[in-house]
Amino acid sequence: MGLSGKVNFMRKRLGRGGYYWDTVKYDVVITQGILDYLSYERAISLLESAWLISNHGGAIVTSNMNWHKWMRFWMEFFGGWRLKYRNREEISTIMKESGYRDLDVYLLPEGYHWMGIGKKNPSV
């Protein structure tokens, strides 16, 4: 699609003791599958860390499990996972409190995951 050689994927640890304060800034930061395990405060902290390594006008892509009776049963009974299930408003609030704007939070077609996309305000 014309992007070959123009997109670099990097994996960075934004958590405890793993902050990356190098001079490299990113256009898109993806935090998939991690907010499900974090408290409200820790989720904000993680997205604030992503803010610090984002270019002005850059985007965050994140997700969180939606409460779904059967998926929760499978995740907890068979997987032993205890997740933090959130709704659209909670994810929007976490993203706003982390500094992101132009938010779009929507339920993915299978109904199990919320996807959130926000932008770092170019004027900040």
Which CATH number characterizes residue 114's domain? 3.40.50.150
In this structure, what DSSP letter does residue 37 have? G
b (16+ CB within 10 A) / e for 91-102: bbbbbeebbbee
| Residue 56 phi, psi dihedral angles, 5° rounding | -60, 130
Number of domains in the chain: 1
Would residue 2 count as lying in a domain?
no
Region 89-115 average pLDDT: 92
Would residue 71 count as lying in a domain?
yes
CB 60 within 8 A of CB 115: no
Q: How far apart are CA 70 and CA 96, in angstroms?
A: 30
Convert the pLDDT of each residue in 34-90 to its tens digit. Answer: 898 899 999 999 999 888 888 888 899 999 988 877 777 777 777 788 889 999 999
Which residue range is the domain that position 106 belongs to? 26-120
Would residue 16 count as lying in a domain?
no
